[in-house]
Structure 1
Amino acid sequence: MKEEANYYQRKLMNSRSSKLITQKNSLIEVLSMLEKGEFNEKIYNATKFPLLKDICLLYKDGIIKGTIPLEKNALVKHPKKESKIIRPISVLLNIKMPLSLLVALAIVSLSSERYGPITTIDGLYYSLMNIWVFWLFLPLTLGSLIFGLIYKKRNYKTKGNIIMGVIFSILLLTFGSFYLIGLKQYQTDTDYLYNIGELIKVDFPAPTKVITQNWMQGK
C-alpha cells in the first residue's frame, strides 16, 4: 500500500497552501499516523479537512495497513514554480497590455486629425470612425488571459495575467464597440443641402460633406 499512501501524501502537499496552514496541526498528526499505521479516533474528530478525514477512514476500514515510510521532505510546502521562460513572458504581457491601450488611443487620435476636423462634432465623428482600432489589440489581452489560465493550473505565478487580461479585454472591447453604437447618432447625407441650394440659387461644391448629430438616433 506504499504507492497509495504516497499518492495521498502528494495530494496533500499539492493542496492550496492556505488550507495547509489552517490544518497544519491536523496534517502533522495524520502524517504521524501514517508512520504508525493505525487509526486514531481523536485525530479523525479533530480535523475538518475532508482529505485528512478520508485518509483517517482508510485506516479505520483497513484499506491501508502497516507502517508507511514518509517521503523525504514531505512536510515542506511546494512553492509556486518559477521559470526562466514563463516568468519573463508573463511580465512582458503585463507590460504590453496597458501600452496597447495607449497605442490604440494614439492611433485613433492621429487618424481623426488626418481629416482636419473643424468642429467638436467633426472630431468626435472621425474618432468614432477609427475607434474600432481597439479591437486589433484584443488578441494580446485574450492571449494573456489564456496564458495565465493554462500556466496557473501548472502551479506558475500567472494570476496577474488573468486579472489584467480580463480587465483590458473588457476595456478594449468596450471602446471598440463605440464604432457600432456611436456612429448611429451621426448623419452625413448632403441631399437636403443641395435641395436648399436650388431654392436659394446657391451652388454648393460637389465634394461637400456635412456631419450632423442627432442624440435621439440609435436609441
Structure 2
Amino acid sequence: MTDPELQGITRDHRAAAPSDAGWRVRLMKDSQFVADRHFRDQAYGGPQRAKKAARCYRDDMAKEHSIVLTAASNGDLAVLRRGAGQTQRDLAQILRVSSSQIAKWERGAVPGAVLSLAGALLSQQVVCPTAEITGDDIRRIRTQILKWTQQQLAAELDRAYAAVGQWERGGRRAPGWVLVYLQAVNDGWNREHSTESSSA
C-alpha cells in the first residue's frame, strides 16, 4: 500500500478474470471481519470511481463498527530506523527486502505489520530470525500459533487473500519481510505487546 488513504483497501487485479478487477475492502475488529467487499471497476465505470466507492464503504463501515483508521504516517519507519542508527540498507537486510523497498515505504505509507516488526527488530525485542520457513510452516504458524484464517493473516499483512494460500501451497514465495514476521511469531514474538510499546 503506497497511499495512506487506502488503509483496509487493496487492489484486486484478478489476472484470471480481468473483467472482475477492482478494489477489495477488508476491515477487522476483534479478529473478525466486519467488512469484506469487492468493488469491480466495470460496475463503477472505471478504477477511480470504484476506488472512491470502496473508500466511502470503508469509511461507513469503520464508523459503524467504531474502528479508528490509523494508517502509518509518512516518516514513521525512517524515525525508527534513524533512532536505531541504521541505514536503509541495514534495515533492508534485516527485513529481507531491497533498499528501494525501504525507501518506498519511508516516502509513502508502510503496512502496520512492517512497522511493528521493524520496531521490534530495531529495539532488539526480537532477534532477527535466520531459519527459512516453508509453506507448511506458514500454515502451521497461522493455524496453531495465531489461530487465524487465511483472510485474517492477509488483512494483518496488508496482502491479497489469495496470496496466503499460494504461499502455503508453495505456489509463490512470500516476501522476505513476511517470512521474517512469521518466523518471529513462531519464535514467540508478542505482537500486541510490541505494538503497545511502540505507540507509547
TM bucket, shorter chain: under 0.3
The structure with the largest strand share of the pair is 2
Q: Provide the TM-score with structure 2 as the length reference.
A: 0.20
The structure with the largest helix share of the pair is 1
Q: Which has the larger radius of gyration?
A: 1
Q: Provide the TM-score with structure 1 as the length reference.
A: 0.19
